[in-house]
Amino acid sequence: MAFAVNVAKARLKRNELSIGIGIRLVRNVDIVKVMKAAGFDWLFIDLEHGSMSIETACEIAITAQDSGITPIVRVPYGELTMATRVLDGGALGIVIPHVDTPEEAKQIADKLRYPPRGHRSVGGGQAQFDYAPLPLGEMTAKSDDNTLITVMIETPKAVENAEAIAAVPGIDCLLVGSSDLSMEMGIPGDTGNPKVQAAVDKVIAACKKHGKWPGMGGAYTEELLQLYTGKGMRFLLAGNDLPMLTAAARVHQAKVRAFQK
């Protein structure tokens, strides 16, 4: 039986760095093989920001399964029904933004995990298994084990509650959204600020205590990526398609323009 391996989760289980790339601008399946060729482990398919449709997200997710790069989808805040739909449609992981309390985390785990761990509804055959007609208990158990559930820590309140959030069964990762966190702290964009670093340290400690994986997004310079990886971040969103494309294009055109004498 074919089974889509969650590469991102497998790396985390081996305590290896699991590196993702944000997909917001590009809305076709070609981006999957491009980012696989670039060496990324997972795609951060973004339905919170931008205008990508759920249909496009699921097409990208199914292509990613067959390409050996893990499709992980961020849905808008509170959209747990959308989250279960993209899981049914091929995603191997979900990211829920703006989670401030353990009560919110418990609700997320309850809605996104199958019984007996939660109360996710069963939608029938899944692309993860090539739509094979499996016994229901076998399919849901394997699907649950293969799914990576991540909550984002993006406010000082969430940081204060990090240990309680990390203690919630069914949550796999706590991902610090450093851009929004810096905004909430009154230091917009200063993702290397000592206040952000202290918050990161607290989240990492909470994850270690409760057997969860710490993650981060929003800090994309080489210096900051090295800093936070050194602190213990393992689930790392290393950039996004739009700024990477823009930066590479800008550098190349500047080099070519410099040839004129």
Query: Which residues are CB-contacts of 216 (< 8 A; sequence separation ≥ 6)?
Result: 175, 176, 178, 200, 228, 233, 235, 236, 237
Q: Where are the domains of the chain?
A: 7-257
| Given the residues 49, 98, 119, 252, the one annotated as active site | 49
Whole-number pLDDT of residue 152: 99
pTM: 0.94
CATH architecture of the domain with residue range 7-257:
Alpha-Beta Barrel (3.20)
Residue 1, pLDDT > 70, answer no
Is 119 an active-site residue? no
- Reported confidence tier of residue 31, pLDDT bands at 50, 70, 90: very high
Residue 208, pLDDT > 80, answer yes
Instruction: Write the pLDDT tens digit of every residue in 133-168.
Output: 889 999 999 999 999 999 999 999 999 999 999 999
Q: Do residues 166 and 212 touch, judged by C-beta distance below 8 A?
A: yes
The label of the residue with tokens 């600020």 reads: 193
Residue 184, pLDDT > 60, answer yes
Q: Which two tokens stand for residue 48?
A: 């919170």
Instruction: Write the pLDDT tens digit of every residue in 38-53.
Output: 999 999 999 999 899 9
Q: What is the mean pLDDT of residues 20-27?
A: 94
